[in-house]
Chains A and B, each alone.
Chain A
Amino acid sequence: MNTHDFSFAGQSLQARASGALFWPAQGLLCVSDLHLGKSARQARLNGVQLPPYDVEDTLARLDAEIATTGARHVLCLGDSFDDLAAFDDLPQTAIDWITRLQAGRTWTWIEGNHDPGPVALAGAHLARYTAAGLTFRHIATPGEQAEISGHYHPKARLRGAARPCFLIDETRVILPAFGTYTGGLRCDDPVLTDLMTSSALAVLTGRQMLVLPMRQKRSGRASSSAGR
């Protein structure tokens, strides 16, 4: 299976192998933590020049997901830009690309901790977005119901391989980071285990989507390298 379809707060949602979340009833494609301009920010701050292809790669994957799902509404769930100055450093080609993607569909930018303000791009700039009982915001709020967020870049290990993953329980969904240059936080970190209920699932992205319990009784088994 290349998508993981699940029911959440009365809605049918689809976690995708790319790390994007699709809501067919609304035609809404949600991606989190693009961190566009991360390489430029690194060069500006400490002189280290990472391969400057992260913007192109991230946009190419987003482009493909929009095309595949035929999304009518794209919602970027915060930390879309590595900082506000990184937005200013984006090459014109990237701005043009985003503008082209925005044509003919609704576009929502949710604020993140890295990009806490509106940028000079079309689309709605919001702190949170609510539709049909679901709330989209960047950072999960403890106690909230029917909430979809990002921020933590969760990842999980299985048979020695660490992959970005969705975390899903009855009350919330946390998305993996969609950006190319993004690290991850192990899903057994207390920050995440405190947020999620005991029946939470980790849904791994990658070539093929895999579903496993977020809490493993013996992580030794899951992370032991594969034998024969």
Chain B
Amino acid sequence: MAGFLPTLAELADGGHDGLHTLYVSPLKALAADIKRNLTGPVEEMGLPVRIEDRTGDTSYTQKRRQRADPPHILLTTPESLALLTSYEDAPRIFAGLRRVVVDEIHALAESKRGDQLMLSLARLQTLCPGLRRVGLSATVEDPPAIARLLARHPDPCAIIEADPGPAADIAMLDLPDPPPWAGGGAGYAIPQVLEAVKQHRTTLIFHNTRAQAEIFFHNLWLANDDGLPIGIHHGSLDRAQREKVEAAMVRGELRAIVCTGSLDLGIDWGDVDLVIQVGAPKNVKRLIQRIGRANHRYNAPSKARLVPANRFEVVECHAALQAARENDLDGDPRGPGPLDVLCQHILIAACSGPFDADALYAEMKNAGPYAGLSRGDFDACLDFCATGGYAFRAYDQWQRLKQRDDGLWQLRDPRAAQLIRMNIGTIQDSDLLKVRFKGRGGKPLGEVEEAFAASLTPGDTFLIGGQIVAYQGLREMVVEVTRDARRKPKVAVFSGTKFATSTQLSARILSMFRDADWPFLPDHTRDWLHLHRTVSRLPEKDRLLIESFPHDGREHACIYGFAGRNAQQTLGLLLTKRLEELGLDPLGFVATDYATLIWGLQPLTDPAPLFDLAALEAGLDGWLAGNAVMKRTFRASATIAGLINRNMPGSRKTGRQATFSSDILYDTLLKYDPDHLLMRITRTEAMRGLVDFDRIRDMAERVQGRVDLLRLDRVTPLAAPLLLEVGKVPIDGAGRERLMEAEAAALMQEAGLNAL
């Protein structure tokens, strides 16, 4: 509210025509919520102020009307704002704009959505030179860094710190049973969670992934003998269903909501007096954000309880608790703004009308993330947008952008603007398919990932929106299901974002391991760590521990890098590659936030040569090129940069018309044009994203060659949970081909077929 006081003061006399203040938030729901909370007081005071929101959910007619006659205060998201700036009449829409308020700016600053927003703001600043910007957030670990991002570069930015309010009441939820060794469901805690719900007015139960939320909600319902009204809310649910839950919450009708990041940010839903975090929070900032959902009122302490989902998470939750109590926020500095987003904004600029390259370059450098943008990089992006930027100049005739005689750039074919506008945005949900009940006008339920849908056979059951449904088939890219009354879904997993444990939290855990004892830990976990210390040793901050042991007929090596899930995954890929070269026949590996477990036919005896950082980095370049992680990163960047279009005019592509995959484009570029701009972007992005090589480098620097290899006769207490982890990665070598061959043969035999 406070963010709008200057706006209301300036608008009170009714003398302002058109748009005055733009409010941008990361969530559609937040924009809608602010509209509700703002409209009330404004109407009560009888102010002549029109307030509207504009998001992906706004109707077409409403959007058209807003363009023709903008409200005084427009509440929107970065994507909808970028779309607005792409229209030819953007100067008229934004005429008179005085203020921009960016809410929850820390959440935007962590992603490409923030980079996109800052480029849009730079555009608005060109249209409205007197524009003032305000950023709001309750969880910023480095305020000056956010200030540099938000302010028009190189202008200064004032930082105002508000009273933090009373300390939160956070603790572990009291649980009689030890958590399981692995997994993320936390089903063992259902009775205590239900009890906590009974003792509070409204409880938010946070999960890290949508799949976990679904499973937990399902189990909660099975145990909900008192029939407490409990809802579920996550980003894959159908909008109507989400809105129903939100409305019920506002009316105070729900006692609990099982949710994910979709309720992370500042929405004031009803009277929440308890937050339960299920699973390790992975990141202190997210934990504090979620804790803040309880008693979202000034001067009332927030109450939160943590529920570890497995044994290691007990340790991690305690480390997070300590950090949260000390308000020790984490966060890794973000590098310069990525060029795929810049490419998209060049195309957006072209949609709004002819532009001058020098002027556009100057404007983009005013955006904080792009303050250091070189002219060479800008020109490369412009060339990519215009010609494709390939070493082989093929598209002279079919350029996307053309330079006119007067030097300005414009779209060759103005009709191309439609496709560009349809694909604005940087959010990369993997390809999602809608799920609906079978039959004419079947009720939409939500979305699942395409890869998940592909793994289903008719009759398979899975959970969505808390219901068990049976897969019937795929029709016109819609997953058709029927209700299924079984108590246990057969398949219950669709993958979601997996966060890596932050550097700071990992360091805290390693520090904890130095203690002689851990009286604050429950006995089961305490004994587990003591046992591990007896049979092996606990990992240390400045050394790298590797355990080697036989198990189940295979040799295993467990590497305790504590580098976070993504980096440990990369480490697994690089090490198995080296092992294959050394003839040690690795068969597969699995990674968690704290360790990588590799199995194969030969024992590891000399680890030193494996951990030579230079060799690892060299291997990365040559070998990672063909890796799925790179392909996934390429897919995201190529989509943002406008090479791959998620949406096409007309209907969605059908299975019949399936086009080539982005993997083929990647392979082709790797073979014929490895230095292409998109390949350069992909490498940069992968190194700091999914590959997370930075954290492997940090680990190597921390360890300085101090590698301890312990040869043990059996699996150790800390390594055992990794054997139970899902997400095992097979090595795609000669061994895998052999496995495929064996499987094909088995299928032939099963089917009673002989090769014709």
Binding site for B on A (CB under 8 A): 4, 6-8, 38-40, 43-44, 46-54, 56-57, 89, 91, 153, 157-159, 161, 168-170, 180-186, 189, 191, 199, 201, 204, 207-208, 210-213, 215-220, 222-228
- Inter-chain contact A211/B655, CB cutoff 8 Å: no
Q: How far is the CB of B243 from chain A (nearest CB, A)?
A: 34
- Inter-chain contact B737/A208, CB cutoff 8 Å: yes
- Inter-chain contact A57/B668, CB cutoff 8 Å: yes
Per-residue interface assignment for chain B, residues 647 to 662, with 1 indicating a CB less than 8 Å from any chain A CB and 0 otherwise: 0100000011111110
Give bound CA distance, A43 to B390, whole Å.
13
- Inter-chain contact B395/A46, CB cutoff 8 Å: no
- Inter-chain contact A182/B672, CB cutoff 8 Å: no
Give bound CA distance, A189 to B747, whole Å.
19
Of B412, B643, B672, B756, chain A has the most CB atoms within 10 Å of the CB of B756
Sample of 15 more A-B contacts, CB < 8 Å, known A181-B659, A199-B756, A225-B728: A8-B756, A52-B392, A53-B390, A53-B669, A181-B660, A185-B655, A204-B744, A207-B737, A211-B748, A211-B755, A220-B457, A224-B455, A227-B728, A228-B554, A228-B728
Interface pairs (25), CB distance under 8 Å: A40-B395, A43-B394, A47-B398, A49-B390, A52-B392, A52-B395, A53-B392, A53-B668, A158-B744, A159-B740, A161-B740, A170-B756, A183-B661, A185-B656, A186-B454, A186-B655, A189-B655, A199-B756, A201-B755, A210-B740, A213-B753, A222-B747, A225-B728, A227-B728, A228-B730
- Inter-chain contact B747/A216, CB cutoff 8 Å: yes
Q: Which 10 A-B pairs have the closest CB atoms?
A: A49-B388, A52-B394, A43-B398, A183-B658, A47-B416, A53-B672, A213-B751, A226-B730, A181-B660, A47-B400
Give bound CA distance, A153 to B656, whole Å.
9
- Inter-chain contact A53/B655, CB cutoff 8 Å: no
Binding site for A on B (CB under 8 A): 387-388, 390, 392, 394-395, 397-398, 400, 411-413, 416, 419, 454-457, 460, 554, 587-588, 599, 642-643, 645, 648, 655-661, 664-665, 668-669, 671-673, 676, 728, 730, 736-737, 739-741, 743-744, 747-748, 750-751, 753, 755-756
- Inter-chain contact A57/B671, CB cutoff 8 Å: yes
Of B457, B659, B740, B748, chain A has the most CB atoms within 10 Å of the CB of B740
Give bound CA distance, A126 to B661, whole Å.
31
Chain B residues within 8 Å of A220, by CB = 455-457, 460
- Inter-chain contact A217/B750, CB cutoff 8 Å: yes
Give bound CA distance, A219 to B412, whole Å.
47
- Inter-chain contact B457/A51, CB cutoff 8 Å: no
Q: Assuming the A-B contacts A52-B388, A52-B390, A168-B756, are A183 and B398 also in contact, with contact meaning beta carbons closer than 8 angstroms in the complex?
A: no
- Inter-chain contact A40/B398, CB cutoff 8 Å: yes
- Inter-chain contact A54/B668, CB cutoff 8 Å: yes
Q: Assuming the A-B contacts A185-B658, A210-B744, A212-B747, are A47 and B668 also in contact, with contact meaning beta carbons closer than 8 angstroms in the complex?
A: no
Contact among B412, B676, B743, B756 with A51 in the assembled complex (CB-CB below 8 Å): B676
Give bound CA distance, A161 to B643, whole Å.
25
Give bound CA distance, A163 to B655, whole Å.
16
Of A40, A91, A211, A222, chain B has the most CB atoms within 10 Å of the CB of A211
- Inter-chain contact A53/B395, CB cutoff 8 Å: no
Contact among B416, B455, B599 with A228 in the assembled complex (CB-CB below 8 Å): B599
Chain A residues within 8 Å of B455, by CB = 220, 223-224
Chain A residues within 8 Å of B416, by CB = 46-47
Chain A residues within 8 Å of B394, by CB = 39-40, 43, 49, 52, 91
Q: How far is the CB of B458 from chain A (nearest CB, A)?
A: 9
Beta-carbon nearest neighbor of A157 in chain B: B454
Chain A residues within 8 Å of B665, by CB = 50-51, 181
Chain B residues within 8 Å of A224, by CB = 455
Beta-carbon nearest neighbor of B401 in chain A: A47
- Inter-chain contact A50/B643, CB cutoff 8 Å: yes
- Inter-chain contact A228/B656, CB cutoff 8 Å: no
Give bound CA distance, A157 to B741, whole Å.
13
Chain B residues within 8 Å of A50, by CB = 388, 643, 665
- Inter-chain contact B739/A159, CB cutoff 8 Å: yes
- Inter-chain contact A51/B658, CB cutoff 8 Å: no
Q: Assuming the A-B contacts A57-B672, A159-B740, are A47 and B658 also in contact, with contact meaning beta carbons closer than 8 angstroms in the complex?
A: no
Give bound CA distance, A208 to B742, whole Å.
13
- Inter-chain contact A49/B739, CB cutoff 8 Å: no
Q: How far is the CB of B342 from chain A (nearest CB, A)?
A: 17
Chain A residues within 8 Å of B642, by CB = 48
Chain B residues within 8 Å of A186, by CB = 454, 655
Q: Assuming the A-B contacts A213-B751, A220-B455, are A51 and B390 also in contact, with contact meaning beta carbons closer than 8 angstroms in the complex?
A: yes
Q: How far is the CB of B314 from chain A (nearest CB, A)?
A: 27
- Inter-chain contact A201/B658, CB cutoff 8 Å: no
Chain B residues within 8 Å of A210, by CB = 740-741, 744
Chain B residues within 8 Å of A211, by CB = 744, 748, 755
- Inter-chain contact B747/A47, CB cutoff 8 Å: no
Q: Assuming the A-B contacts A53-B668, A210-B744, A217-B750, are A6 and B756 also in contact, with contact meaning beta carbons closer than 8 angstroms in the complex?
A: yes
- Inter-chain contact B756/A169, CB cutoff 8 Å: yes
Beta-carbon nearest neighbor of A163 in chain B: B740
Chain B residues within 8 Å of A56, by CB = 672
Q: How far is the CB of B488 from chain A (nearest CB, A)?
A: 16
Beta-carbon nearest neighbor of A56 in chain B: B672
Give bound CA distance, A40 to B747, whole Å.
42
- Inter-chain contact B668/A191, CB cutoff 8 Å: no
- Inter-chain contact B664/A181, CB cutoff 8 Å: yes
Q: Assuming the A-B contacts A43-B398, A224-B455, are A53 and B673 also in contact, with contact meaning beta carbons closer than 8 angstroms in the complex?
A: yes
